[in-house]
Chains A and B, each alone.
Chain A
Amino acid sequence: MFKRKKNYIIWSILRFSSNLNFALILLFTIAFTSFLGTIIEQNQSIEYYKINYPEYYIPLFSWKTILFLGLHKIYTSWWYIFLLISLGISLLSCTFLNQLPLLNLAKIIKFYSNLNTLKNFPLIIEIKNNISSKYIYHFLQKRYVILQHKDQLYLYNGLFSKIAPIFVHISIILILIGAISGFLMGFTVQEMVVEKENFHLQNIINAGPLSKIPQNFFLKVNKFWIDYNNDGSISQFFSDILVYDNLGNKLYDKTISVNNPLIYKNITFYQTDWNLQAIRLDINNMYLELPLIEVLRNNNKIWISQIQLDNKNFYLVVEKLDDVIYLYDENKDLINRLKINEDKKIILENINDNITLKVKKIIPSTGIQIKSDPGLPIVYLGFFLLMTSTVFSYFSFNQIWLLINNKNSIYLTGQTNRAKISFKQYLLKITKKM
């Protein structure tokens, strides 16, 4: 008795979720909450919301409402995920409770035996002095399925366009499943690595509860370089990456760039960012490595380093990798321009000795994004199915009935579910043509 009641509850929930109006309201709610996420900045600190949404500005709405309702992280909040899961359930129940029965209905073969039964169709054409086989041949060319019962014919085509919407639902469900698997079992790691250094997967940005981050290999950034355009903007930046096992044996080697990642054991390494770390100088045959500090100037990044010679400060400014390095004195006046490995005797005012200053190298660092997503194959399958099934859903399911009268005339009528105008034009055109 209890089990029957539980079944009834589950069954009525499923039946309710397959209701079209519920599904449309659910879709609209998802659209609306996603829209909220575009006008309220997501994933910021509490202070940000306190400053931008102070109390008493809009009645009943302030940073407190935002934090309480979870509007600062909508796309990962429990209620948003609940909406998506409800959408999945609604799609699934709609497929089984609505789409499949309708498909079975559409497959039913129906013949009409006389003119009276055709009277509900909006278009009826009577064709005199013609042979039905001419029409049958024409429809065969158009890939119609032709069924005959005595002197009545039923023709249809485009049944695949009734099957396609089922696959649309299935593909969306696959995408949701794939996304959830990726969320549970995937991880994201970011590493900012100086050239020539080794790194392990350790700076974890995101890791799902069921994820496992392998530590049985490490990587080395062998070289990093940038290609520039003629106008000085960046064309592409490259990192040469080597993969080693924990004993130091080289396993794999690839040069990556943006849009060109390295894939090793289902983990993908993307080139995303870069920075300049230090500048190596040779001063009077002494090597010195100075850190470079990044500074924003007119929307451009430049790097500055400071060196003290004879108690006076000098500044080295770097704008691009492997380019001219500018040398400034304390008063921010430009003293000289240096190129890498160029031997230059610098004569500096107020300095007692002669200084040979040579820039040996600018040392860059590269930003690598490392990602693993086990749900990706499922998501890609869902994507592919969704693309093809939405295309196939565009076509219409056409049905035509031919009634061969023994008085040397044929009655033709038809109906379609989608392309009403062009189908009617088509029927009128072929009867005129024959």
Chain B
Amino acid sequence: MNLNNQIDNYCSNISFLSLFISMICYWLIIAFPKKTFFLKFAHFEVSLANILLVYLLAYRWLKYSYFPLSNLYESLLFLSWSLTTIQLILEFKFKHKLIGAIASPISTLTLAFSSFFLPKYMQQVSPLIPALKSNWLIMHVSVILISYAMLLIGSLLSILFLFLSRKNKLNYMKNNNLTTTYNDTLILKNEDKLNLLSNIDNLSYRIIGLGFPFLTIGIISGAVWANEAWGSYWSWDPKETWALITWIIFAIYLHTRINKSWQGEKSAIVAGFGFIVVWICYLGVNFLGKGLHSYGWFL
């Protein structure tokens, strides 16, 4: 039993350390763009942390035979894993250093909070209470946590956008290569209005745009589960209400992008507000300690 706890501890400590190192590497690479070694090392560290988190979660799943999402500690681990996974996918697709620079601090802090600030008794494994004995547990909680991860990264990018557009100094326009030739193609016009700011804006829009359907599916699966278990798909529980508020805020964000004049700063402010709302919805409500969701609270 002690050895198992030690393995748990080693895993979470090493993954925290990896994430912390990767965070430093990303910041170094922003400061010294030429040293590509830092970037490769950062990628390695994030991947290492990701694998260790998978191991931790899988270990708990196999040992205690229920999907590891029944208390706050496990959900925080799952959230850290989602954040690192999404960060890796995004970096692979868009190859933008700023993604890592933004996402790694938040993964580090989440993991640090779960490992070092949660009291030990909340990290223990305990048998599932009857209300959680359902297949809906896996579907609902995992989808919601993945959506939180996406919405957090997207809104962080919007906050970065606000920060950069205020400063207005970082404006590296790519070269308007009017006559690049690749074999037999000639780029006649490449109006790279997509400079850094616009890139971040569009990227945050796409990430939030993907997180929003996941949040929808998560909330609805929670409602259907509640109906199958207790006969009421919506009971204005604080957690449910805050999930609705989060959904509404991000729906507002997506709609501000329709109007061309609202694009840019105004929608980024909404997304930045959404960042705070997601945290209140996830952690703030648990610590108020009332309602159907008070499974991991201390008051």
Contact = CB atoms under 8 A, between A and B. Distances in A.
B229 A270 contact: yes
Contacts of B228: 259, 261
B131 interface: yes
Interface in A103-162: 119, 121-130
B186 interface: yes
Nearest to B257: A418
B250 to A, nearest CB: 11
Given A122-B189, A371-B231, A386 B184 contact: no
Given A37-B236, A369-B231, A383-B223, A233 B217 contact: no
A38 B203 contact: no
Nearest to A267: B231
A235 B130 contact: yes
B130 A42 contact: no
B251 A27 contact: yes
B118 interface: no
A35 B241 CA distance: 7
Interface of A: 20, 23-24, 27-28, 30-31, 34-35, 37-38, 42, 75, 119, 121-130, 179, 188, 229, 231, 233-237, 257-259, 261, 268, 270, 272, 369-371, 373, 376, 379-380, 383, 386-387, 390-391, 393-394, 411, 418-422, 424, 428, 431-432, 434
A432 B130 contact: no
Contact of B230 (A31, A126, A270): A270
B244 to A, nearest CB: 6
Given A20-B258, A27-B248, A394-B213, 18 more contacts: A20-B255, A34-B248, A122-B191, A125-B188, A127-B186, A179-B234, A188-B231, A233-B126, A234-B129, A235-B133, A236-B130, A258-B131, A258-B229, A272-B230, A376-B233, A390-B213, A390-B216, A431-B182
Given A20-B255, A38-B238, A383 B224 contact: yes
A387 B217 contact: yes
A127 B233 CA distance: 57
Nearest to A411: B188
A391 B213 contact: yes
Interface string B75-93: 0000000000000000001
Nearest to B201: A420
Contacts of B234: 179
Give the interface size class of chain B: 35 or more
B256 A24 contact: yes
A421 B220 contact: no
Interface of B: 93-94, 126-127, 129-131, 133-134, 182-191, 193-194, 199, 202-203, 205-206, 209-210, 212-213, 216-217, 220, 223-224, 227-234, 236, 238, 241-242, 244-245, 248-249, 251-252, 255-256, 258-259, 285
Give the secondary structure class of A's interface.
mixed
Contacts of B238: 38
A259 B206 contact: no
A418 B236 contact: no
B230 to A, nearest CB: 6
